[in-house]
Amino acid sequence: MPKKVNHEQRRNKIAEAAWRVILENGMEGASVRKIAEKAGLSLGALRYYFSNQEELILYAMRLVKDRAAERIEQIIHRDVPPKQKMLEVLLEIVPTNRQTRAEMEVWFTFVSYARHHPHLLKEEGDGILAALQLMFEYMESNGLLRPGIDRQLEIEKLYAMVDGLALHVMLEPERLTENQVEKVIASQLDVIFE
């Protein structure tokens, strides 16, 4: 009986190889040949799944977002108080462990590269701003938004803080510990929510 290959698994394995190549060599070093080599596949086998480099890179980038979305989905269904839940979701966005930090670094590298390669820019954004809007609505509907808070302004502040922390964690992992990141975000949530 021929071995049944799970196509999605194979595509994801190739995408993860692409992440590793991007982390090691940057986007400009992420050739299809190198990614095939890293994935332990022939160029022909890889081309069966992705017909060109752009298709492969876009798939690899969507996988970064999908993985983060899955982890956030799990947190949302956990039975914890709303504010704690929001903190945990934001800590998922600001990557504090090695795996999520690598994903974030791949993402930043891609965003920076895509600015000079407009044909990749059709790729949608990271979805963080939309997620924050939803979280604020959820908190408000639970009566947890502090009175007198300017919602849009606080969303903008928290959005900037979260992405700034993500950038700093990536650039200075020694200086900014997981503990500190949590303290910074928790303190901002205390300003906004009861």
Among 34, 58, 71, 108, indicate the residue that binds a copy of itself (CB under 8 A). 108
Within 10 Å of residue 95's Cβ, how many Cβ atoms?
A: 23
Mask for 63-82, x = binds a copy of itself (CB under 8 A)? --------------------
CB count within 10 Å of CB 152 equals: 10
How far CA 113 is from CA of 27, 76, 95, in Å, comes to 7, 32, 21
**List 93, 165, 192, 193, residue binding a copy of itself (CB under 8 A):** 165
CA 194 to chain centroid: 28
C-alpha span between 162 and 168 (Å, rounded): 10
Q: x/- string (CB under 8 A) for a copy of itself, residues 169-188?
A: --x----x---x--xx--xx
If binding is defined by CB under 8 A, does position 133 make contact with a copy of itself? no
Rounded Cα distance between 34 and 111, Å, is 21
What is the binding site for a copy of itself (CB under 8 A)?
Answer: 23-29, 105, 108-109, 111-113, 115-117, 125, 150, 153, 156-157, 159-165, 167-168, 171, 176, 180, 183-184, 187-188, 191
